[in-house]
């Protein structure tokens, strides 16, 4: 299983939200690139970056911070947050981003998702953020009536290879992740699932790996020291 430490960007700072609430922001540092370097030194080969400002308002507020992260490390970097047109996709891929994550655009403009998957293949992933089992959009500010598991099957059927699935109620809460939903998702053939939201123990890493989860994102737990990134990476590889 691959491990993606997470860097969430707000006002060009590395932050974490609790349960997606923009009013519950913890600032961890002014230099996201320094965190990326530190993660690489601990053995990380992958990095998950989210532009929280972009997710909320669609603007390209943290582009320079992402560019700096890319220039300072050689990790495979996936980026999400506010990517709603092809120009944005191209701007990230052109600076070396390995994969872009479509969230709100994937749900609200399915034809666009289909077009981008046909054109860019596995460089397009879909972020499925779920609240009470339904897909949330616009930086988690709005919740649709679309069943999140069914939506995962639907994007698989048009050629999407990777889904990053987040249970919003677990994200940043440091109370564990939703192992049950990942067991369900792992049964969707032909789709790589990345588990995201609330992972805070080594037993969860082991459980996710054993059920065939392709990757896991670790965020607040490594910032607070509840998980040691080197140990997480080692355990995921066993």
| Maximum alpha-carbon separation in the chain | 42
What contacts 234, CB < 8 A, 6 or more positions away?
43
- Nearest 5°: phi and psi at 169? -65, -20
C-alpha–C-alpha distance, residues 173 and 175, integer Å: 5
Q: What is the 3-state secondary structure (H, E, C) of 52-112?
A: HHHHHHCCCCCHHHHHHHHHHCCCEEEEECCCCCHHHHHHHHHCCCCEEEECHHHHHCHHH
| Active-site residue (options: 8, 51, 171, 192) | 8
Write the Ramachandran bin of 47: left for phi over 0, alpha for psi from -120 to 50, otherwise beta.
beta
Instruction: Return the beta strands (E) in the chain as ranges.
Output: 2-10, 13-18, 21-29, 46-51, 76-80, 99-102, 124-131, 134-137, 142-147, 162-167, 192-196, 215-218
Residue written as tokens 């037993």?
203
- 100 Cα distance to chain centroid: 10
| Active-site residue (options: 129, 167, 171, 192) | 129
Residue 8 among the catalytic residues: yes
Residue 129 among the catalytic residues: yes
* Residues designated catalytic: 8, 129
């Amino acid at each position: 299983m691959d491990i993606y430490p997470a860097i969430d960007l707000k006002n060009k700072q590395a932050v974490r939200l609790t349960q997606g609430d923009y009013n519950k922001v913890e600032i961890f540092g002014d230099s996201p690139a320094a965190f990326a370097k530190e993660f690489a030194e601990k053995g990380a080969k992958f990095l998950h970056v989210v532009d929280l400002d972009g997710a909320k308002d669609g603007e390209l507020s943290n582009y320079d911070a992402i560019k700096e992260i890319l220039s300072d490390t050689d990790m495979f970097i996936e980026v999400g947050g506010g990517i709603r047109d092809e120009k944005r996709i191209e701007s990230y891929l052109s600076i070396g981003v390995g994969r872009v994550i479509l969230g709100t655009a994937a749900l609200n403009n399915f034809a666009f998702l289909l077009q981008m998957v046909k054109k860019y293949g596995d460089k397009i992933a879909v972020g499925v953020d779920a609240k009470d089992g339904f897909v949330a959009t616009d930086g988690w500010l709005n919740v649709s009536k679309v069943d999140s598991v069914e939506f995962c099957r639907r994007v698989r059927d048009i050629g999407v290879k990777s889904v990053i699935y987040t249970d919003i109620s677990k994200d940043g809460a440091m109370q564990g992740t939703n192992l049950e939903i990942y067991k369900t998702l792992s049964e969707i053939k032909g789709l790589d699932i990345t588990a995201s939201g609330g992972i805070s123990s080594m037993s969860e890493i082991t459980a996710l790996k054993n059920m065939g989860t392709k990757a896991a994102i670790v965020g607040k737990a490594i910032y607070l020291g509840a998980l040691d990134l080197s140990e997480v990476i080692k355990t995921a590889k066993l």
